[in-house]
Amino acid sequence: MRLPPFIYLEPKTLDDALKMMDEYRGKVKIIAGGTEIVPLMKEGLAKPSYLMTTGRLMGLKNLKQEKNRIIIGASTTLREIAMSPLICSAFKGVAQAARSVAAPPVRNHATIGGNVLQNTRCLFRNQSELFREGLEPCHKSGGKTCHAVKGARRCFSAYQGDVAPILISFGARAKLERKGSTRIVPISELFTGVGKGPLSVEEDEILTKIILDLPKGKYGSFYEKLRFRSSIEYPLAAAAAFLSVGENGKISTARLVLGAAGPAPVVVKQASDILVGLWPTDREINAVSEFASKAGRIADNRSAPASYCRKMLGVLTRRTIRGALNDIETEKR
Ligand SMILES: Cc1cc2nc3c(=O)[nH]c(=O)nc-3n(C[C@H](O)[C@H](O)[C@H](O)COP(=O)(O)OP(=O)(O)OC[C@H]3O[C@@H](n4cnc5c(N)ncnc54)[C@H](O)[C@@H]3O)c2cc1C
């Protein structure tokens, strides 16, 4: 598979990059690590006329603490995140998620920005052009059919990014810049929930930073994904949990977010309703897991049956809640 022709843009400053995004709006795509956009271009699923690298924008590359928050430049690699002592101690689940992406050679290039802003996937669409030629165009390819759910009027492609669910559980925010304006939004608002167009980032916007506030008091986090191989596999289902405890030793905040459960990360609101105000026993954990296994919109468009993945969302939920509780008990922050 060969790359289609494109013009390569290499801005040296953020200002220049924002100008280029404005000038070539709609025709330009950003390339950070390139581990998603390049395969998509090779498969004919992305056809930008211009590819603009963020590789020379030094301001997008650092990870630092500023008072009570951690600022992660969008071009920070997943390897740097997985190995950062700051992330490994204060945001353990984020390090676990970063470490679970693909394999070391990919993580050396893959960035956190590119990971969060990856497209949704479907076993019937993320294939070569030759394979797709044999199928009627699906909703996402401009057609009117869904090969995963026969008769469906919408796209069932799934968001399978590993890092966004745990970032959402920590309440992380994203800084998006375009020529002349800036906005900061919760990571959860980057997603539309629509498989055909899953991201709410404008065509001329650049994600520059991810902001994580340091949680107060005692807290724990955990991330786990279902995969058959121990590396180079997108999550077939995933769960991310963040729990904090108050001075009375009971849960004061509980956020559970599912991955690979639909076109966007899925926040399980019942986790907070059930867990806050107590130190959960198996009974409460099982109750949350019941809700989690019904929360997603999973179709048969990945390398495991939807029914199995749904069941596993419940299992992963139990494991992540227990993992976060264990983190609270063992961590001396
Ligand atoms: C073999 C293989 C296995 C993989 N396994 C996994 C996996 O297990 N889990 C997983 O989550 N992913 C997986 N991936 C996907 C990919 O590697 C990761 O999502 C990676 O983190 C993408 O980062 P990147 O910097 O390479 O993104 P790129 O490919 O450079 O970009 C991805 C998308 O984000 C946009 N983008 C990038 N940076 C910005 C920015 N600053 N502002 C605005 N838009 C931006 C790009 O335009 C593009 O649309 C895998 C990929 C491969 C090839």
Axis-axis angle for helices 306-330, 282-295 (nearest 10): 140
At residue 331 the predicted structure's pLDDT band, cuts being 50, 70 and 90, is confident
Burial of 44: CB neighbours in 10 Å, binned 0-12, 13-18, 19+: middle
Whether the CB of 159 sits within 6 Å of ligand 1 = no
Q: What percent of the chain has pLDDT over 70?
A: 99
Give tens-digit pLDDT for 34-55. 999 999 999 999 999 999 999 9
Residue 104, Cα to own-chain centre: how many angstroms? 18
CA 123/CA 262 separation, integer angstroms: 14
Whether the CB of 7 sits within 6 Å of ligand 1 = no
In this structure, what token pair is assigned to residue 168?
Answer: 């959402």
At residue 333 the predicted structure's pLDDT band, cuts being 50, 70 and 90, is low
Whether the CB of 110 sits within 6 Å of ligand 1 = yes
At residue 166 the predicted structure's pLDDT band, cuts being 50, 70 and 90, is very high
Q: How many residues appear in the chain?
A: 333
CA 156/CA 161 separation, integer angstroms: 15
Q: Which of 115, 175, 199, 229 to mutate to test the pocket of ligand 1 (most atoms within 8 A of CB)?
A: 115
What is the arithmetic mean of pLDDT over 81-101?
98
DSSP state of 119: P
At residue 1 the predicted structure's pLDDT band, cuts being 50, 70 and 90, is confident
| β-pair partners for 240 | 223, 257
Output the CA–CA distances (angstroms, integers) from residue 277 to 53, 250, 271, 280, in the order listed: 48, 5, 12, 9
What is the arithmetic mean of pLDDT over 110-116?
98
Ligand 1 centroid – CA 278 distance (Å): 39
CA 93/CA 91 separation, integer angstroms: 6
Whether the CB of 31 sits within 6 Å of ligand 1 = yes
What is the arithmetic mean of pLDDT over 282-298?
97
Q: Which of 21, 35, 43, 228 to mutate to test the pocket of ligand 1 (most atoms within 8 A of CB)?
A: 35
What is the arithmetic mean of pLDDT over 131-159?
96
pLDDT score, position 115: 98
Using DSSP's 3-state secondary structure scheme, residue 38 falls into: helix
CB 266 within 8 A of CB 116: no
Output the CA–CA distances (angstroms, integers) from residue 161 to 4, 88, 100, in the order listed: 25, 19, 10
Give tens-digit pLDDT for 232-261. 999 999 999 999 999 999 999 999 999 999
Quick one: which atom of ligand 1 is closest to the CA of 31? 30
Whether the CB of 249 sits within 6 Å of ligand 1 = no
Whether the CB of 55 sits within 6 Å of ligand 1 = no
At residue 332 the predicted structure's pLDDT band, cuts being 50, 70 and 90, is low
pLDDT score, position 158: 98
Question: What amino acid occupies position 143?
Answer: G
CB 173 within 8 A of CB 136: no
pLDDT score, position 72: 98
In this structure, what token pair is assigned to residue 242?
Answer: 């963040």
Run of H or E residues at 24: none
CA 226/CA 117 separation, integer angstroms: 21
Ligand 1 centroid – CA 318 distance (Å): 28
What contacts 7, CB < 8 A, 6 or more positions away?
A: 49, 50, 51
Residue with CA at minimum distance from ligand 1 atom 38: 114
pLDDT value at 175 more than 60: yes
Burial of 179: CB neighbours in 10 Å, binned 0-12, 13-18, 19+: middle
Ligand 1 centroid – CA 192 distance (Å): 18
CB 259 within 8 A of CB 238: yes
Ligand 1 centroid – CA 122 distance (Å): 16
Strand 63-66, strand 28-31: pairing: unpaired
Give tens-digit pLDDT for 115-144. 999 999 999 999 999 999 999 999 999 999
What is the arithmetic mean of pLDDT over 97-102?
98
What is the arithmetic mean of pLDDT over 190-201?
98
pLDDT value at 110 more than 80: yes
Ligand 1 centroid – CA 18 distance (Å): 20
DSSP string, 152-174: -SS---B---SHHHHHHHTT-EE
Give tens-digit pLDDT for 296-317. 899 999 999 999 999 999 999 9
Whether the CB of 198 sits within 6 Å of ligand 1 = no
Whether the CB of 14 sits within 6 Å of ligand 1 = no
